[in-house]
Amino acid sequence: MRRRELITLLGGAAAWPLAARAQQPAKLPTIGFLGESTPSGQREWVAAFVGRLRELGWIEGTNVVIEYRWAEGRNERFAAMVAELIRLKVDVIVTQGTPAVLAAKQATFVVPIVFAIAGNPVVNGLVASLARPGGNATGLTNQTADLAGKRIELLREIVPDLRRLAIMANVDNPSVMLDIGEVQAAAGALGLEAGISEIRRAEDIAPAIEALQGRAEALYVAGDPLVTTNRNRLGILAVGARLPTMHGNRENVDAGGLISYGPNLPDLHRRAADFVDKILRGAKAAEIPVEQPTKFDLVINLITAKALRLEVPATVLARADEVIE
């Protein structure tokens, strides 16, 4: 074979992979959704998030891909799931809660992270400041600790003879530890005793509630993925132990809790989609300010109140955004 023919042949062969690559479709933008609970437990949150993405022009399966991973209330699973999302080369990670965000930040300094829910992201080291997050994370704070005093006041209106308050808390969650401090301070200001009932895994919930019988008149449940995932069982056990419960979000009241006051979590996930939209269009997470809730809900479960033989004052019912009957 002549030298010129050989060069032509080799040149053509080298071009084949390039031509093949040129014919391949471009990779769609990919969102990694790291859920703290389960698909059923976060159905409304996901629907709000995906619905807002659609309004912004991002249609799942058409021009954007969403990779879902579910921790099922087990914080120890976050690290492995984040690593998997990074291997998939996602363009942004969306998640909830301080443990998940910390796991994501420890795994990557490059992939943007949007948190739909986070308690005091500055104190917990998620961002440098609310106005200028810095790093690769931004999102929405749920102000959990700031609302503790209001929740205690509402609980005492429903349980007027309240003297001893128990606080159920996953003590492995840094955000929960901040919440505990605020609850104890608020309880102390009202002359209440406030003891901590520690949990770390699902198996701890039943013994913890059983141990509170006769030792507390009400239970403040600190919000956490472990609690969210096991809210149905927690609600049943608390009623069985005749313990009125206060929660930070309505999902736990739907599951049998007595009362909740706090940010509307589907709304926070809806707003998280706006952060994702900005990032997919080129904005940097470090430069997008952290936002705070604008929609708060007071929800009361009268079915649970009747089971506990509690009379909810008309003044409290009048302030409720929703009453479950």
User: Over the stretch 139-182, which tens digit does the pLDDT of each residue have?
Assistant: 999 876 568 889 999 999 999 999 999 999 999 888 888 889 88
- Domain boundary assignment for the chain: 30-143+264-295, 145-263+297-324
| Homologous superfamily (CATH) for 30-143+264-295 | Response regulator (3.40.50.2300)
Q: Would 30-143+264-295 and 145-263+297-324 be classified into the same CATH topology?
A: yes
Is the pLDDT higher at 173 or at 94?
Answer: 94
What is the model's pLDDT at position 298? 97
What pLDDT, in 10s, does the model give residues 191-203? 999 999 999 999 9
State how far the Cα of 202 lies from the Cα of 205, in Å rounded to an integer.
Answer: 6
Task: Please check the confidence at residue 245 and state whether its pLDDT lies above 80.
Answer: yes
Contacts of residue 5, defined as CB under 8 A and 6 or more positions apart, other chains included, come to: none
- Tell me the whole-structure pTM to 2 decimals: 0.85
- Provide the CATH number for the domain formed by 145-263+297-324 in this structure: 3.40.50.2300
Task: Please check the confidence at residue 222 and state whether its pLDDT lies above 50.
Answer: yes
Q: What separation in angstroms does the CA of 218 have from each of 79, 173, 200, 314? A: 35, 22, 20, 20
What is the model's pLDDT at position 119? 84
What is the model's pLDDT at position 293? 93
Contacts of residue 157, defined as CB under 8 A and 6 or more positions apart, other chains included, come to: 313, 315, 316
Task: Please check the confidence at residue 314 and state whether its pLDDT lies above 50.
Answer: yes
State how far the Cα of 71 lies from the Cα of 48, in Å rounded to an integer.
Answer: 20
Query: How buried is residue 214: exposed, middle or buried, by Cβ count under 10 Å (0-12/13-18/19+)?
Result: exposed
